[in-house]
Amino acid sequence: MVGQQKLDSLFLYGVIYLIFIYAPVILIVIFSFNDGIYVAFPFKGITVKWYYDMMHNAGLGKALKVSLKIGVVVSIVSTVFGVLGAKAVMRYHMPGIKTIVFLIMLPLVIPTIVFAIGLLMILTKFIGLQPTTWSVIAGHVLLCVPFSMAVMMSRLQGFDKNLEEASLDLGQNAWQTFWRVTFPLAMPGILASFLLCFTNSFDEYLIAAFLSGNDATLPVYIFSQLRFPNRLPGTLALGSCILMISFAIVTFAEWMRRKGVNPDSGMGI
Amino acid sequence: MTANDSFIAIRNLSKHFGSVKAVDDISFDIRRGEFFSLLGPSGCGKTTLLRILAGFEVPTQGEVLIDNQPMATVPPHLRPTNMVFQNYAIFPHLDVKSNIAYGLRKKRLSKEETARTVNAALEMIKLRGYGNRRADQLSGGQRQRVALARALVCKPKVLLLDEPLGALDKKLREEMQLELRQLQRSVGITFVFVTHDQEEALTMSDRIAVMSRGRVLQIDNSARLYEAPNCREVADFIGTMNFIDGSIAATENGYAVIDAGRVGQLKAPRGDGGFQRNNRVTLAIRPEKLRIEASRPGNGGNFIAGRLGAQAYLGDRSHFYVEVPGLDRRIAVAAQNVTRNLEFGDNANREVWVSWPVESGVLLPAEDA
């Protein structure tokens, strides 16, 4: 049957596609348990010593701390900018609003390497500062604000403007209205934005490599370790851990975004 | 109207959105304790006017006074008005109790007092025991009541209602119309009610302002709007109206004889329009004031000959549409089906006579005059 055959080839395509995407990821997880330093079959035996090594690696712990610090600061700053920007764009009429949004969203498509070089030049040549953790934060905020704006704009779009007006009408001023109506209803979006910015910052390599100075972030540290063959299994273990945590965070963010309070549920019939 | 009667004073009010004049130089007064409706087709400016009263729109020109207080510099959250929104705008993240209590926050009542007020409000809207429900667990009618209670607990001087019944089905809407009217009488608050549904406005209001293209055409009570419209647009918008164009051939006492061309000569009360000989006029008659007969009626009153074009049986009444040579629009005749008659024959194309007493006609200035 022609129909059946078509379906089968499509199915095959799907399977190949999935293998192509996930084979590398699965290989990392598998070989992180391999009792040997070379990533090659046959399997030497199962061990968790790489995980044990990883836990007691001082350099890695330091890099992890740097990355966490950068991630938290970046996600807070970006989300604040994103909320305020999205609220301004969605609620107020201003001339040139489309151009403004376009300029804010542009970093999404500009190659990060361009930003990294530009930021390094400005920092060292024009301002005369040395790269630090703070310069990485600045660079990451630049990259994360568009993500946050996009999430918040879509959240506010499905948000009945009358709710804010009703709050004003019932005697709450603009500030009280923001905290009692806008903020709670935007909360799932804010959480989603926070987590999205965090994961984005956490695994960003280029800006971190150019701007982190002596305090390497986790991705930068991992890459530096790949020169030593005996360190490879340790990074595989680390990669597996990051994979699991990222997966959990993104799943949670998406779940929050969908769940939350449906902003439309109070509206008409 | 004396100055004392004016509770809401609207003075030369305009609101322009770019080149669109949503509200175009309007002035009128609303009395204390009145159920006042703004009636008009969509885009006539009625919602914009309501939003100016609430403080959500800043007028381009003119001013609004509520209880002698100018409102120009008063922001929405400090105005003595509360609004019931078209989609109710019930806060989805709060339960019914907290929704109703929302406007009480600024009054800084004690917990017990707030609870007592909220419970009394729930009682009033017959939703006792619904306090812990969320908005999405309520039906349309229930949401409507919650929105109403939420606004009324603030004890506003003026309650603004933006088509609050528009989303309800017909039966529930009629029920709520009565309830709303009763409620307004018992709380004695001035209601400003926006609607595009003329039947709803006629049923509920003390007075109605008919609006069109940003202007107010006529302000009157229901009966006067229906029986004595002041222009063709009002006559056409409210109910069904037949129009016959002509010019005044003669005037005698309180009556005018209208020369309606091929339709013939017709008589009508002159009214207080100050019509003179040769004025171009439009004679307006309601369908239910017309009689339709197979033979030429006797003298007295107006009659015109035509051919029955279509008829419709509506149960309590029947509609007949009569083609009259010389008129663009068919004359509509509504007849109560007073007697039981199971045989509703098709009488299309029969010659018929339409007649009416002289007093039933209304003279209006011709549209292009």
Per-residue pLDDT of chain A (269 residues; tens, 9 = 90+): 455 556 788 899 999 999 999 888 888 888 888 777 776 777 777 787 788 877 787 888 888 889 999 999 999 999 999 988 888 888 777 788 888 888 888 888 888 888 888 888 888 878 777 778 888 898 899 989 999 999 888 888 877 888 999 999 999 998 999 899 988 888 888 888 888 899 889 888 888 888 887 888 888 888 888 788 777 777 888 888 888 887 887 788 777 666 654 444 433 32
- Asked if residues B282 and B366 have their Cβ atoms less than 8 Å apart, the reply is yes
Contact A169 B54 (CB under 8 A): yes
Distances in whole angstroms, Cα of residue B42 to Cα of each of B22, B160, B192, B236: 11, 17, 17, 15
Residue B95 shares a structural domain with residue B210: yes
Which amino acid does the sequence have at B297?
A: P
Asked whether residue A25 is domain-assigned, the answer is no
Contact B134 A265 (CB under 8 A): yes
Q: Which among A160, A164, A170, A175 is the top mutation candidate for probing chain B, defined by the most B β-carbons within 10 Å of its own β-carbon?
A: A170
Asked whether residue A8 is domain-assigned, the answer is no
Q: B185 by DSSP, 3-state: which?
A: helix
- H or E, element range at B30: strand B20-31
CB < 8 Å to A170, chain B: 77, 82, 102-103, 105, 150-151, 154
**Chain A within 8 Å of B102 (Cβ-Cβ)?**
yes
Which of these three, B175, B209, B236, is where a domain ends? B236
Nearest-CB residue to A266 (from B78, B91, B151): B91
Asked whether residue A171 is domain-assigned, the answer is yes
Residue B217 shares a structural domain with residue B306: no
Asked whether residue A20 is domain-assigned, the answer is no
Asked whether residue A141 is domain-assigned, the answer is yes
- Report the CATH number that the domain containing residue B80 is assigned in CATH: 3.40.50.300
Residue B125 shares a structural domain with residue B50: yes
Q: Buried b vs exposed e over B304-315: b needs ≥16 C-beta within 10 Å?
A: bebebeebeeee
Nearest-CB residue to B92 (from A172, A263, A269): A263
Residue B222 shares a structural domain with residue B246: no
Q: B333 by DSSP, 3-state: which?
A: strand
Distance (Å) from the alpha carbon of B156 to chain A's nearest alpha carbon? 10
**Chain A within 8 Å of B75 (Cβ-Cβ)?**
yes
CB < 8 Å to A165, chain B: 54, 56, 76, 83, 85, 89
Residue B180 shares a structural domain with residue B226: yes
CB < 8 Å to A160, chain B: 87, 89
Contact A267 B151 (CB under 8 A): no
- Asked if residues B264 and B304 have their Cβ atoms less than 8 Å apart, the reply is yes
CB < 8 Å to A263, chain B: 92
Distances in whole angstroms, Cα of residue A66 to Cα of each of A43, A212, A216: 34, 10, 7
What's the pLDDT score for residue A263?
45
Residue B219 shares a structural domain with residue B70: yes
Contact A165 B88 (CB under 8 A): no
- Asked if residues B330 and B324 have their Cβ atoms less than 8 Å apart, the reply is yes
CB < 8 Å to B103, chain A: 170-171
Contact B87 A265 (CB under 8 A): no
- Closest C-alpha among B72, B206, B95, B217 to residue B146: B95
Distance (Å) from the alpha carbon of A63 to chain B's nearest alpha carbon? 41
CB < 8 Å to A180, chain B: 102
Contact A268 B89 (CB under 8 A): no
**Chain A within 8 Å of B134 (Cβ-Cβ)?**
yes
- Secondary structure letter of residue B112 according to DSSP: H
Which of these three, B236, B255, B285, is where a domain ends? B236
Residues 290-349 on B with a CB inside 8 Å of A are none
Number of independent structural domains in chain A: 1
Per-residue HEC secondary structure of B227-246 comes to HCCCCHHHHHHCCCCEEEEE
- For the complex shown, is ipTM > 0.85? no
What's the pLDDT score for residue B369?
46
Residue B297 shares a structural domain with residue B171: no
Asked whether residue A7 is domain-assigned, the answer is no
Q: Mean pLDDT in runs of 10 for chain B (369 residues)?
A: 74 92 93 94 92 94 92 92 91 91 87 90 86 86 90 92 86 86 90 92 93 94 92 90 91 86 86 80 92 82 88 87 89 86 72 90 80
Residue B115 shares a structural domain with residue B217: yes
Residue B179 shares a structural domain with residue B277: no
Which amino acid does the sequence have at A260?
A: G
CB < 8 Å to B117, chain A: none
Residue B270 shares a structural domain with residue B229: no
Domain containing A94 equals 57-258
**Chain A within 8 Å of B167 (Cβ-Cβ)?**
yes
What's the pLDDT score for residue B30?
94
- H or E, element range at B11: strand B6-17
- Report the CATH number that the domain containing residue B318 is assigned in CATH: 2.40.50.100
CB < 8 Å to A162, chain B: 85-87, 89
Number of independent structural domains in chain B: 2
Contact A262 B92 (CB under 8 A): yes
Which residue of chain A is at minimal alpha-carbon distance from B87?
A268
- Report the CATH number that the domain containing residue A67 is assigned in CATH: 1.10.3720.10
What's the pLDDT score for residue A155?
84
Q: Which among A165, A169, A176 is the top mutation candidate for probing chain B, defined by the most B β-carbons within 10 Å of its own β-carbon?
A: A169
Residue B232 shares a structural domain with residue B244: no
Residues 6+ apart with CB under 8 A from A223: A205, A209
Domain containing B195 equals 3-236
What's the pLDDT score for residue B96?
93
Residue B198 shares a structural domain with residue B72: yes
Q: B43 by DSSP, 3-state: which?
A: coil
Q: Buried b vs exposed e over A219-249: b needs ≥16 C-beta within 10 Å?
A: bbbbeebeeeeebbbbbbbbbbbbeeeeeeb
The whole-angstrom separation of Cα B194 and Cα B86 is 10
Distance (Å) from the alpha carbon of A249 to chain B's nearest alpha carbon? 25
Nearest-CB residue to B154 (from A163, A167, A170): A170
In A, what residues contact B, Cβ < 8 A? 160, 162-163, 165-173, 180-181, 184-185, 261-269
> How many residue pairs bridge chain A and chain B with CB atoms within 8 Å of each other?
91
Per-residue HEC secondary structure of chain A comes to CHHHHHHHHHHHHHHHHHHHHHHHHHHHHHHCCECCCCCCCCCCCECCHHHHHHHCCHHHHHHHHHHHHHHHHHHHHHHHHHHHHHHHHHHCCCCCHHHHHHHHHHHHCCCHHHHHHHHHHHHHHHHCCCCCHHHHHHHHHHHHHHHHHHHHHHHHHCCCHHHHHHHHHCCCCHHHHHHHHHHHHHHHHHHHHHHHHHHHHHCCCHHHHHHCCCCCCHHHHHHHHCCCHHHHHHHHHHHHHHHHHHHHHHHHHHHHHHCCCCCCCCCCC
Which of these three, B236, B262, B295, is where a domain ends? B236
Which residue of chain A is at minimal alpha-carbon distance from B150?
A170
Inter-residue long-range contacts of A240-243, CB under 8 Å, 24+ positions, other chains counted: A240/A28, A240/A29, A240/A32, A241/A51, A241/A54, A242/A202, A242/A203, A242/A218, A243/A25, A243/A28, A243/A29
The whole-angstrom separation of Cα A12 and Cα B36 is 70
